[in-house]
Amino acid sequence: MKIDVTDTPSESDLAAISEGLTAFNTADVGPSGRQSLAVLIRDDTDKAIGGISGYTAWGWLFTQWLFVPESLRGRGMAGKLLEAAEAEASARGCFGAWIDTFNPQALKAYQRQGYAVFGELPDFPAGRSRFFLQKKLSPR
Name the average pLDDT for the chain.
Answer: 97
* 58: region left, alpha or beta (phi > 0 left; psi from -120 to 50 alpha): left
| Position 12 in a domain | no
Q: What is the pLDDT, as a whole number, of residue 140?
A: 86
| Cα distance between residue 106 and residue 104, in whole Å | 5
| Position 64 in a domain | yes
- CATH number for the domain spanning 80: value is 3.40.630.30
| Position 91 in a domain | yes
- Note the pTM of the prediction, 2 decimals: 0.92
Which residue range forms the structural domain that includes residue 125? Answer: 32-134
Percent of the chain with pLDDT over 90: 99
Number of domains in the chain: 1
| Position 17 in a domain | no
| Position 89 in a domain | yes
| Position 14 in a domain | no
Return the minimum-mean-pLDDT range out of 60-64, 94-98, 126-130, 136-140: 136-140
Does the pLDDT value for residue 60 go beyond 90?
yes
